[in-house]
Amino acid sequence: MTVRIGVLVTLVVVGACAQVPAERQAINDAAAALGGADRIQAVQTLVMEGAGTNGAMGGSVTPDDPPNTFKVTGYQRTMDLQNGRMRLQQVRAAQFPFALATVTRQDQRLDGDVAFNVAAPFNAPPGTPARAQRAADAVAAQRRRELLEHPIAAVRAALDPMATVSNLRQEDGFTHVDIRTAKGDTIVLALDPATKLPAHVSHMEYDPNWGDVEVETSFADYATVDGLQVPRRITSKTDRYLMSDISLTRTTFGADASDLAAPDEVRSAAAPQPPPINVTVEQVGKGIWWLAGGTHHSVVFEFDDHLTLFEVPLDDRRTQAVIAKAKELVPAKPLTHAIVSHHHLDHAGGFRAAVAEGLTIITHRGNEAFFKEIASRAHTIGQDTLAKSPKAPKFELVDDTLTLKDATNEVILYKAVGNIHSGLLVYGWVPRDRTLVQADFYDLNWQQHPWGDNFLENLKMRNLNPVRHIPAHGAIQTDAEVRKTLATKPKAAPPVQ
């Protein structure tokens, strides 16, 4: 009888083990490899310290050049896994010529569904006190996913009985499993089939320019801390672009994270909404209008039988509003072309809206492949104008110069030579009015002008003697005012104190 009872108990235990779904077993194996489920579930806070680099999507001298990078020091990320809070502190120093602050100190936080930043207002004078300001709900959703971008955090979330794990599969040499957390966030966890340790975690999200993108954070160089395996290198990329590569010098558990709670005035504040679009119109010459009213401006040129737009900035909303305003200027003439000065997305973020409008894109030949890719990207998570009204882009390409001319107007487009900010920059010249139209070649409000000499050299090389400068940033100025600004402002950022 005793033997039969023993056999029965063994069968029950074996049957119970056999009933563990394969997806759940994969999580259990990962937890064991990291140091055990009990240790993982006991973790309430963890702090990572280190240094490394940050990158940018589409920020480069030309589309084919490596992206611009920032050197990161003073990196500290605090995760309060118990309360869903997080804080990122780091100092970023631009490793490329930059016209604004080259060193910035970031303090980005999350408290549940509330994201906020602690910083002085943008472009505030030195010494302006930092203040906490709530960020958009989309930022909070993104930071909640970032809270899962650590092996301990991801596996801890998967161990929650309210979490769902599914779709176990083998891809690219790793074991993948989908996780839907108790809070409804979804990630994919990839496990090393040999060590069972998490190799990377990923999720899909929407980028207004790039459409559907995969954000993947990889873990490497594991070491033991307080009985748990933790990575000493964490690397994140969005699509093919490296966004962060941090080598960690220290990971600690159990730190006091009470200061991560959002202040009452932040929590009670409404999440910011996109500001209304304001497009002002100023006629600056015969058949030339300056469309301003925001941080990025555009220009409309009138020809005998059509209108041409210079610059499609920021995003769908801004460019749609600019296009609508341009159509009001001379209703009898269609808007047919859009000049895109360069590939940086604060100036070309409305490219897809211009394509959806059916406009022919005028840009440097070296930008064509980049813009064709932007036009072809899938936008299923979010839909912009081009996703709703698909069209193939049409191009008219600039090599060194391109003249747009008829009996009523003439605009000569030149490629900037030797520019260290944008190697394929295109700017415009109206000979009749001696008017220069440009984007990112010069801005009155820049803190320093690293390529200011190059700007003046290009004018000299092209034998241009402007009376007026019409910018995509800043204010309209005379040539004398521009040269005075360049003479009085530094060419490089001051040394960091």
Instruction: Read off the pLDDT of each residue in 252-273 and give the average, rounded to a whole number.
Output: 95
User: Which of 17-21, 27-31, 132-136, 268-272 has the weakest average pLDDT?
Assistant: 17-21
Instruction: Read off the pLDDT of each residue in 21-31 and give the average, rounded to a whole number.
Output: 98
| pLDDT above 70: residue 496 | no
* Domains within the chain, CATH numbers bracketed: 22-120+129-267 (2.50.20), 280-488 (3.60.15.10)
| pLDDT above 90: residue 494 | no
**Which pLDDT score is estimated for 123?**
64
**Which pLDDT score is estimated for 228?**
98
| pLDDT above 60: residue 27 | yes
Instruction: Read off the pLDDT of each residue in 39-44 and give the average, rounded to a whole number.
Output: 98
Share of the chain above pLDDT 70, in %: 95
Instruction: Read off the pLDDT of each residue in 445-464 and give the average, rounded to a whole number.
Output: 97
Instruction: Read off the pLDDT of each residue in 466-495 and give the average, rounded to a whole number.
Output: 95
| pLDDT above 50: residue 152 | yes
**Which pLDDT score is estimated for 18?**
55
**Which pLDDT score is estimated for 31?**
98
| pLDDT above 80: residue 289 | yes
pLDDT band at 127 (very low <50, low <70, confident <90, very high): confident
pLDDT tens per residue, range 99-123:
999 999 999 999 999 999 999 876 6
| pLDDT above 60: residue 258 | yes
Mean pLDDT (the chain) is 94
**Which pLDDT score is estimated for 75?**
98
- Most confident range (mean pLDDT) of 117-121, 272-276, 421-425 is 421-425
**Which pLDDT score is estimated for 16?**
44
Share of the chain above pLDDT 90, in %: 92
**Which pLDDT score is estimated for 186?**
96
Instruction: Read off the pLDDT of each residue in 14-37 and give the average, rounded to a whole number.
Output: 86
SS (H, E, C) the chain: CHHHHHHHHHHHHHHHHHCCCHHHHHHHHHHHHHCCHHHHHHCCEEEEEEEEEEECCCCCCCCCCCCCEEEEEEEEEEEECCCCEEEEEEEEEECCCCCCCCEEEEEEEEECCEEEEEECCCCCCCCCCCEEEECCHHHHHHHHHHCCCCHHHHHHHHHCCCCEEEEEEEECCEEEEEEECCCCCEEEEEECCCCCCEEEEEEEEEECCCEEEEEEEEEEEEEEECCEEEEEEEEEEECCEEEEEEEEEEEEECCCCHHHCCCHHHHCCCCCCCCCCCCEEEEEECCEEEEECCCCCEEEEECCCCEEEECCCCCHHHHHHHHHHHHHHCCCCCEEEEECCCCCHHHHCCHHHHHHCCCEEEEEHHHHHHHHHHHHCCCCCCCCHHHHCCCCCEEEEECCEEEEECCCCEEEEEECCCCCCCCCCEEEEECCCCEEEECCCCCCCCCCCCCHHHHHHHHHHCCCCCCEEEECCCCCEEHHHHHHHHHHCCCCCCCCC
pLDDT band at 22 (very low <50, low <70, confident <90, very high): very high
| pLDDT above 70: residue 470 | yes
